[in-house]
Structure 1
Amino acid sequence: MYAVLLGCAASPPCAGAVPPAYGANDAGGFRNILPPGENGTDNFVQLGKFQSVGQRPPHWMDQLPLYSDLVYADPGLTGRQIPYYFKDATFGVKPNQIASIEHPRSGVTIVRDKAFGIPHIYGVTHGDVMFGAGYAGAEDRLFLMDILRHTGRAQLSSFIGGASSNRQMDRDQWQAAPYTEADLQQQIDDAPKYYGDAGRRIIADGNEYVAGINQYIHDATNPLDPVGAANKLPGEYVALGIVPKPWKLTDVIATASLIGGIFGKGGGEEVRSARIFQAFLARFGGRRGRRSWLDFRERDDPESPVSANGRFPYETASPFSPRGLALPDRGSVRFTSTGSPLTGALRAGAFGLDMRRALESKHGHSNALLVSARHSADHHPIGVMGPQVGYYVPQILMEEDLHGPGVDAEGAAFPGVNQYVQLGHGRDYAWTATSANSDDVDTFAEVLCRDAFHYRWRGHCMAMERLDQHNSWAPNALDQTPPGSETLTAYRTVHGIVYARGTVHGRKVAFVRARTTYFHEADSGLAFEELNNPSFTHDARSFERAAANINFSFNWFYIDSRDIAYYVSGWYPRRAAHTSPSFPVLGTGQYDWAGYDPSTHLASWLGFAAHPHAIDQRYFVSWNNHQARRWMAADDNYHYERVFRSQLLEDKIKHDIRGGRRMTVAQLVQAMEESATQDMRGVLVLPTVLRAIGHPRQARLRRAVALLRRWVRRGAHRRDLNRDGHYDDDAAVTLMDAWWPRLVAAEFEPAVGRPAYGALTSFQPPDAQQVGTVASSPDYETGWFGYVSKDLRDLFGPRGRGSWSRVYCGNGASGAGGGGRRTRARCRTALRRSLLAVTHMTKQQLYGHDPTCAQEHRVDASCYDETRSTVASGVDIPSFPWINRPTFQQVVAPTRHLGR
């Protein structure tokens, strides 16, 4: 049938690969969703139609209704309803569902389906598949790919305009990953040296992939076919008055540096952490200050929920280890910038600002729920899982289905690096990731010599390397900023990039970030090639070996018809013995990472078995939570606490498998979805707070407490099931939003003191959603949730493991027990006063700072929470109700294993 459809039944031979039948080499049981839609290219005519009559191109947002409407299927979701919310992800296309067929070169076939326009790519050779992935990627995301490669090179302002937000994005990227063209090329040239034949294969794949992108650019700008070119060229290029430039393999490396440097790292905030510590020392003195700081540091709280049951010791040295310690002198630190101060305000709605916010909230909502065969209803593992990468138009992930020699995979990938499926399924297995944020970035204090741009290393006075990036811009249809130019400057040492300056014991130093993946941005390509290859990945053990080749910090999950597995990837350094993992250390050489070679940017990384991993636990749950006991939180992570959002998921799984019961796929989807609309504070913290508050006599307080208790009993949701435009428990949600920051301040600030409290809240706000500013969606990853719970349980009970060194609420005492009746009375009074103070607060006071909600006359929590996508196109989409779940999500229930 395919041969006839492709016109391959007669001679001469068909121009492209002949696709196998729908479902060939696919064990079945794979579904997914990726909003808003697969198509991300709007030509100039389509752009005009949208701007004039609001008509969007096909497949622009056809997956969004499936994604957003799942909210209304809960509670009571059934197995038969799942196809209404997750589309079929089986390999191939049914013959009667073929929408289009193209052969961008001999040996390559791209088939798109009618339902969602997904590219199904087939190649006669492995290189043909890579070429097809490049062509289809450009077909669906060319303009976004261009944005990503320019952002990765810190050239966003040169590409789309000189707005302050775009220039700030350039500054941030040049601070994080500054590379010259020679640096990018070096990473390509070094691949065979480090990885042999595997490295050569990855480079060959990359070259074929780039050739596919460039073929599409040729087709979209071909003067010999003006009609065809006009249909293919994104309208944004016409609006900007530019044509897309051909890609180079170094563009892929630059894009990888942006993606991996954002989603796959942890740590690097040792200086800021040191400043918080010093504020605690100033408040409490030496011994008590150290203990109090450790209370809030939460490196390894024994009550924190973990994904792996084993113990995996890492970074267990004391934060106060004196060897090489380089605590900055108080008041001496000055953070540097790669550019001069910006004079224009960063305004809401500016692309660079929207992109920065989206990328900074990368932790978002990634989660994974996997249940083993012994606890599932069909006696095979089941999974609901996916990454949260933000919401973009077009989406910053794209979907593809790749088939040819050495590759059988369907799923999602980042445009610009989509030669392999990065999150998806193979023949009979699936895999996904959540950000691990484990510590692969350290701070070294370079002791200066001669002047501000020389430093001492291994007995020599070394010159810092100056890295300049020149950008220029002119007004265009998207950005009317007047013409201008600027040069960004970063300074590089043998360890990394300078980000602050100060003194240590009176000596001038430059603080630099050393990232293990710097100069190795694309090395993970080897692992993705293995995950796409059915000959390599065929069971849980082979999956672990593939995941171990990913140098970025991620939690990886695997499922097939027999097993579930978990592995934490990343290059984690073996730090010098007895040095602090929490604060800066001297960069003079004797405290370098074990085996560190600045000429290769390699060191002796932590071994395979030392990473948190497990196979066939009862279940795996991850919502960016603590990986395992003794695996210490990175220095920028103060929130592996007793209360974490992953408990929302885990508690539901525990309930559904208790007493020998077995869990269905529908139950697992509902466990995810039910949690996705819950306010974690209401579920996991508020019961403890209300117990501490007791039963006040004052009428206004009694009504407020009763309102909150009713909300807790109803599940503490932020959802609008009757679709009237307001949350079903709007009054309780509003009260909680108003009270939370004041509750935290009332509980902690009197004891901690304003300077230390301010230092800590500026580093880790009480809640990641800053109510009272521009609207944002809550995710409940970072905040003071566990702090509030731990402190109040220490005072009012029941006490748990890992009690703190003192009680803070009511300005309680130090030591075990932490406070008596008087402390409890003072604490209860403080909590009640903080609640009473907000009972008069109006929605306008709370949510009225956001211009969008004000313009829509919807100043309330539901509008404030709504998901508003970062738009990288002339065609946008409407906002949609808040939901705390992955962007790309798979529902996996494989029941058979295929031979190889």
Structure 2
Amino acid sequence: MPPRTGTSARTGKSRAATIAAVLALGASLLATAPHAGAAEPDPVTDYCQGQCDDILPPGENGNATLVDILGNKAFGTHPAHSDDQLDRYDGLVAGHTGLTDQKLTDFFNDASFGVAKNQVESVTSPRNDVTITRDKVSGVPHIKGTTRYGTEFGAGFAAGQDRLWLMDLFRHIGRGQLTSFAGGALANQGLEQQFWPQAPYTEADLQAQVEYIRTHEGPRGEQAMADAQAYVDGINSYRDKSKKGRYFPGEYVLTGKIDAITNIGEIQPFELTDLISIASVVGGQFGGGGGGEVQAALSLLSAQQKYGVAEGTKVWESFRQRNDPEAVLTVHDGTSFPYAGKPGKAVGTALPDPGSVTAEPLIHDRTGSAGTDAKAPVKAPAELKKAQGIYDDGVIPEGSLPGSGSGAQKRGMSNALLVSGRHTASGNPVAVFGPQTGYFAPQLMMLQEIQGPGISARGVSFAGVGMYIQMGRGQDYAWSATSAGQDITDTYTVELCEPDGSAPTKNSTHYLDHGDCAAMEKLERTNSWSPTVADSTAKGSYRMQVWRTGYGVVTHRATVDGKPVAYTSLRTTYRHEADSIIGFQMLNDPSYVTDSASFQKAASNIDYAFNWFYADSRTAAFYNSGMNPVRAPGVDPALPVKAEKAYEWQGYDPAANTADYTPFAEHPHSSGQDYYVSWNNKQAQGYASAGFGLSAVHRADLLDERVSKLVEEGGVTRASLTRAMADAALTDLRGEQLLPELLKVIRSQPVTDPELNTVVQQLDSWRAAGAQRKESSPGSHAYTYADAVRIMDAWWPKLIDAEFKPGLGDDLYGALTANLATDESPAASHGPSGAHSGSAFQYGWWGFADKDLRQVLGQPVKGPLARTYCGNGDLSSCRAALLSTLKQAAAVPAAGVYPADDNCKAGEQWCADSIIHRALGGIGQKAIHWQNRPTYQQVVEFPAHR
């Protein structure tokens, strides 16, 4: 099939005449692939009856030829369907207030099965047993096969059409070889340094995971690998055709892989092991949980050093808040699911000696660009640290980056809102839900419909692992997920040794494994790069290195009671990156999922830590998936534990990384509750948080308050639930949840300073109007309450410092903020998602501040902090600290609050907040209004059932 080239013209200035010549040359090279007829499968009944909608910005088409890329750079044109969902997604900001069910398709796609005859844009038949029909509106591939192989082959072929370059990028990211493949740009270095250390597999490791699924998962495992092979065959078919026809992605030319004139060069064939590599990136980024125990131990030690062991532990636990009774819950009917809680008397805990912890170096032998030619571990460039959030001498320490299995700050931005049919206008459940996978161009996920023997679904799949729909809808049901983040990763403390019996040091590469002095396995990746058209980074190279043990990958070294040790990170899904394919296969099988109970059983076969949500015409339901290990009695999962048999996961087999896992019934689950909300919050009572921050105030409160009000009023519709989501997506959590208490403290006495009183009134007016970050009029790029937003952005970090730092002291305050950042506003460039990412207010000290302020005000607090910090508990002193920092914040100009970056000038508030799709290829996209909202989103209401 030829590329779907540009029809959507954008403003742009003409470049040199040579570009026009290249455009003409490229156009002459385009070829049309042959079209052959294919058998038509039996029609499928769509029980949603036009009431299922979805959206995936910027657009479905993620492939661009060299002509497309040069046209985009020179003239601002976009390939067809590469940006046609962007304005609809952005338009909900202004359009949600007047939203009706009839207007939903102004902002979402019609997600009905099939394509009406008058809406067919193209039909491709890569084999005679499958057709790929694309619609005119969004260019979504509707894959229909008469055989199972043909269906999956078509899915792979369509994936090649829409995401060939992206899939190639991600198989190299997973292998830690991105810079060698795509160039040494700092962003590329950051990506491979972020992901490879959490899944540093050899090719044999990858192949072993393929064989494990095929041989250990029964008939479904065999079918899954057959489907995966057909999918890979389809990708390779498109790869061959596009290369021969010269309509392959232009990035292959720009990175020097293929010569634009001679067509000499190769796109390497895809293999089943590539799917495992891609799955390791996807699962680790969005489906991990736990970890971060070393940093947690450091903050505990700091608390104990300040207050003594008993009081320090009490103070630390009050910040750790494993089971905060005030935390917003997804299952709120009182049901409890105890897991990973604090033991009555911990055993096997291995806290480091103070000052002994060093992070394990990742980068070695850096030369050339961004390097020093040193032959020893060197620090990563400051620009790379800033761009990727890398700390500790170029190392990616446990807990410092999203996807690292961290309990500290992990990316998890998806949300879900579901209402039972008892409270809807129709009597059928209504759901608005979707994953937030970050804003990229092209998007990490792709939309598709797959219809074939044993498969019937429409929705999204991550590019490269799209044999099945991962989130979407079936014939009479829909499902989605949010990152759960429960504790499936532990830190073990391995005692170091030397094989000759000499005294070990912290640098020793052998460890005691059940009494034997075993060698660590050294895993390496050496990457080198040279300048290309796409990346002018100077020639350079470096080596990444990790050490692997029977208890996972080494992340830190220290001493415990004077003995050298290594801390290792072990997650249950390690070596099982794609086992979850069985659960997804079930979710796509209409003969398996017939109701909420069968959906929950299907979801239980997904090993990653996700919250799964379901809706059909009768029931809304929830299930929390994940390979939750059964820990030894008395082990504290929040802290490092000794690597000894008595403290291992029960049933642990290091060769296969398998263990005993908690059964289905012990995972939080529910069916038929009045409503469900999730925004990566706490799932249920007793289900201990894997890290800091699931406290009295969480961004899920923004959803919970709105949805509970809708349920109380009754008559909920798709539009009203969408409005609730969109309203929360524009709201500043601090302004809605914390500002009332801050103002109550400040107004406990009259504000006598006229200028300061004006500032207080500005903030109160903003709060009363909804505390939103929204334009005064569409396209104005200026917020209605711009000054109040600026003041809050400047004030929050100052007030948190003033509230807590004097009482905690510099060391403990620093240690606790390393566990949990104080703020994540939309304009923040720090945190797990970085600037222009949309997601905001997931991580911050909102819950700590809320409890502390209520304690100062003398209000009741469940699960209080061990001490009161603001003003040392004195209301007058607390008020003085807040007023002092507020006055400082009000004086900071916009340019000081919103510094310039590559996309915005200093002081441009709207731009600093704006969402900018990060280019993973040659096509860029315009900035859009900030929304705290899923990337892919469904709005569904099924009126009928099979």
TM-score normalised per structure 2: 0.88
Is 1:485 paired with 2:541? Answer: yes
Q: Counterpart of 1:703?
A: 758
Alignment match of 2:339 (pick from 314, 333, 340)? 314
Structure-1 separation of matches of 2:314 and 2:384: 41
Is 1:283 paired with 2:306? Answer: yes
Listed one character per residue, the Cα deviations across residues 673-692 of structure 1 (whole Å, up to 9, x for unaligned) are: 01110001010111011101
Conserved? CA contact 1:23–1:90, under 8 Å: no
Structure-2 separation of matches of 1:772 and 1:406: 45
Report the alpha carbon displacement of residue 126 of structure 1 after superposing the two structures with TM: 1.2
Q: Counterpart of 2:942?
A: 894
Compared with structure 1, are the counterparts of its residues 610 and 324 closer, same or farther at alpha carbon in structure 2 (3 Å cutoff)?
same
Q: Counterpart of 1:816?
A: none
Please tell me the residue identity of whatever aligns with 2:252. Answer: Y
Listed one character per residue, the Cα deviations across residues 610-659 of structure 1 (whole Å, up to 9, x for unaligned) are: 0000000000000111000110011xx21111111111111112222225
Secondary structure (helix, strand or coil) at the match of 1:143 reads: helix
Alignment match of 2:646 (pick from 565, 590, 609)? 590
Q: Counterpart of 1:261?
A: 284
Which deviates the most, 786-795 or 156-165?
156-165
Is 1:346 paired with 2:371? Answer: no
Alignment match of 2:792 (pick from 731, 736, 752)? 736
Which deviates the most, 614-623 or 289-298?
289-298
Structure-1 separation of matches of 2:523 and 2:754: 65
Secondary structure (helix, strand or coil) at the match of 2:98 reads: coil
Is 1:676 paired with 2:691? Answer: no
Is 1:148 paired with 2:157? Answer: no
Please tell me the residue identity of whatever aligns with 1:370. Answer: L
Q: Counterpart of 1:157?
A: 179
| Ranges in structure 1 where 5+ consecutive residues have no aligned partner | 1-12, 223-228, 813-822
Compared with structure 1, are the counterparts of its residues 775 and 487 closer, same or farther at alpha carbon in structure 2 (3 Å cutoff)?
closer
Alignment match of 2:889 (pick from 832, 838, 844)? 838
Q: Counterpart of 1:324?
A: 348
Please tell me the residue identity of whatever aligns with 1:274. Answer: A
Q: Counterpart of 1:5?
A: none
Structure-2 separation of matches of 1:684 and 1:832: 19
Conserved? CA contact 1:22–1:93, under 8 Å: no
Compared with structure 1, are the counterparts of its residues 671 and 530 closer, same or farther at alpha carbon in structure 2 (3 Å cutoff)?
same
Compared with structure 1, are the counterparts of its residues 656 and 164 closer, same or farther at alpha carbon in structure 2 (3 Å cutoff)?
closer
Q: Counterpart of 1:829?
A: 880
Is 1:241 paired with 2:302? Answer: no
Compared with structure 1, are the counterparts of its residues 63 and 152 closer, same or farther at alpha carbon in structure 2 (3 Å cutoff)?
same
Which deviates the most, 196-205 or 326-335?
196-205
Over aligned residue pairs, what C-alpha RMSD do you find? 2.1
Structure-2 separation of matches of 1:726 and 1:26: 40
Conserved? CA contact 1:270–1:582, under 8 Å: yes
User: Taking every aligned residue pair, what percent have the same amino acid on both sides?
Assistant: 41
Listed one character per residue, the Cα deviations across residues 656-681 of structure 1 (whole Å, up to 9, x for unaligned) are: 2225x221211101000011100010
Secondary structure (helix, strand or coil) at the match of 1:626 reads: coil
Q: Counterpart of 1:59?
A: 81
Compared with structure 1, are the counterparts of its residues 17 and 794 closer, same or farther at alpha carbon in structure 2 (3 Å cutoff)?
farther
Structure-2 separation of matches of 1:531 and 1:613: 17
Alignment match of 1:40 (pick from 53, 57, 62)? 62
Structure-1 separation of matches of 2:53 and 2:402: 26
Structure-2 separation of matches of 1:414 and 1:401: 14
Conserved? CA contact 1:27–1:428, under 8 Å: no
Conserved? CA contact 2:160–2:235, under 8 Å: yes
Alignment of 1:793-872 (within 5 A): 793-812=854-873, 823-854=874-905, 859-872=907-920
Listed one character per residue, the Cα deviations across residues 503-527 of structure 1 (whole Å, up to 9, x for unaligned) are: 1111110100001000000000000
Structure-1 separation of matches of 2:562 and 2:330: 44
Compared with structure 1, are the counterparts of its residues 391 and 700 closer, same or farther at alpha carbon in structure 2 (3 Å cutoff)?
same
Structure-2 separation of matches of 1:358 and 1:728: 33
Compared with structure 1, are the counterparts of its residues 362 and 890 closer, same or farther at alpha carbon in structure 2 (3 Å cutoff)?
farther
Alignment match of 1:663 (pick from 711, 716, 727)? 716
| Ranges in structure 2 where 5+ consecutive residues have no aligned partner | 1-34, 258-265, 365-377, 391-395, 499-503
Conserved? CA contact 1:156–1:167, under 8 Å: yes
Which deviates the most, 616-625 or 329-338?
329-338
Conserved? CA contact 1:367–1:624, under 8 Å: yes
Is 1:638 paired with 2:695? Answer: no
Compared with structure 1, are the counterparts of its residues 646 and 160 closer, same or farther at alpha carbon in structure 2 (3 Å cutoff)?
same
Is 1:274 paired with 2:297? Answer: yes
Secondary structure (helix, strand or coil) at the match of 1:562 reads: coil
Structure-1 separation of matches of 2:822 and 2:697: 13
Secondary structure (helix, strand or coil) at the match of 2:181 reads: helix
Conserved? CA contact 1:554–1:569, under 8 Å: yes
Please tell me the residue identity of whatever aligns with 1:133. Answer: A
Q: Counterpart of 1:299?
A: 322
Report the alpha carbon displacement of residue 323 of structure 1 after superposing the two structures with TM: 1.4
Q: Counterpart of 1:171?
A: 193
Is 1:218 paired with 2:237? Answer: no
Report the alpha carbon displacement of residue 136 of structure 1 after superposing the two structures with TM: 0.4
Secondary structure (helix, strand or coil) at the match of 1:48 reads: helix
Conserved? CA contact 1:771–1:846, under 8 Å: no
Compared with structure 1, are the counterparts of its residues 802 and 298 closer, same or farther at alpha carbon in structure 2 (3 Å cutoff)?
same
Conserved? CA contact 1:30–1:890, under 8 Å: yes
Please tell me the residue identity of whatever aligns with 1:801. Answer: K
Report the alpha carbon displacement of residue 868 of structure 1 after superposing the two structures with TM: 1.2
Please tell me the residue identity of whatever aligns with 2:383. Answer: L
In the alignment of these two chains, the number of paired residues is: 861
Is 1:230 paired with 2:246? Answer: yes
Q: Counterpart of 1:426?
A: 474
Report the alpha carbon displacement of residue 573 of structure 1 after superposing the two structures with TM: 0.7
Listed one character per residue, the Cα deviations across residues 284-304 of structure 1 (whole Å, up to 9, x for unaligned) are: 222221111111111111010
Q: Counterpart of 2:6?
A: none
Conserved? CA contact 1:737–1:771, under 8 Å: no
Which deviates the most, 97-106 or 792-801?
792-801
Secondary structure (helix, strand or coil) at the match of 1:104 reads: strand
Report the alpha carbon displacement of residue 344 of structure 1 after superposing the two structures with TM: 4.2
Conserved? CA contact 2:154–2:234, under 8 Å: yes
Q: Counterpart of 1:129?
A: 151
Secondary structure (helix, strand or coil) at the match of 1:207 reads: helix
Structure-2 separation of matches of 1:378 and 1:662: 8
Report the alpha carbon displacement of residue 145 of structure 1 after superposing the two structures with TM: 0.7
Alignment match of 1:445 (pick from 479, 493, 512)? 493
Structure-2 separation of matches of 1:14 and 1:768: 53
Please tell me the residue identity of whatever aligns with 2:271. Answer: K
Conserved? CA contact 1:399–1:411, under 8 Å: yes
Alignment of 1:753-832 (within 5 A): 753-769=809-825, 771=828, 775-776=835-836, 777=838, 779-812=840-873, 823-832=874-883
Please tell me the residue identity of whatever aligns with 2:709. Answer: H
Conserved? CA contact 2:62–2:442, under 8 Å: yes
Structure-2 separation of matches of 1:22 and 1:655: 38
Report the alpha carbon displacement of residue 798 of structure 1 after superposing the two structures with TM: 2.5
Q: Counterpart of 2:96?
A: 74
Is 1:559 paired with 2:574? Answer: no
Conserved? CA contact 1:693–1:828, under 8 Å: yes
Listed one character per residue, the Cα deviations across residues 215-241 of structure 1 (whole Å, up to 9, x for unaligned) are: 01110112xxxxxx223x001111112
Structure-2 separation of matches of 1:185 and 1:70: 45
Listed one character per residue, the Cα deviations across residues 103-147 of structure 1 (whole Å, up to 9, x for unaligned) are: 112212111111110000011111111111111001100001111
Report the alpha carbon displacement of residue 467 of structure 1 after superposing the two structures with TM: 1.3
Q: Counterpart of 1:49?
A: 71
Which deviates the most, 480-489 or 41-50?
480-489
Secondary structure (helix, strand or coil) at the match of 2:870 reads: coil
Compared with structure 1, are the counterparts of its residues 498 and 129 closer, same or farther at alpha carbon in structure 2 (3 Å cutoff)?
same
Which deviates the most, 63-72 or 692-701?
692-701
Structure-1 separation of matches of 2:383 and 2:594: 49
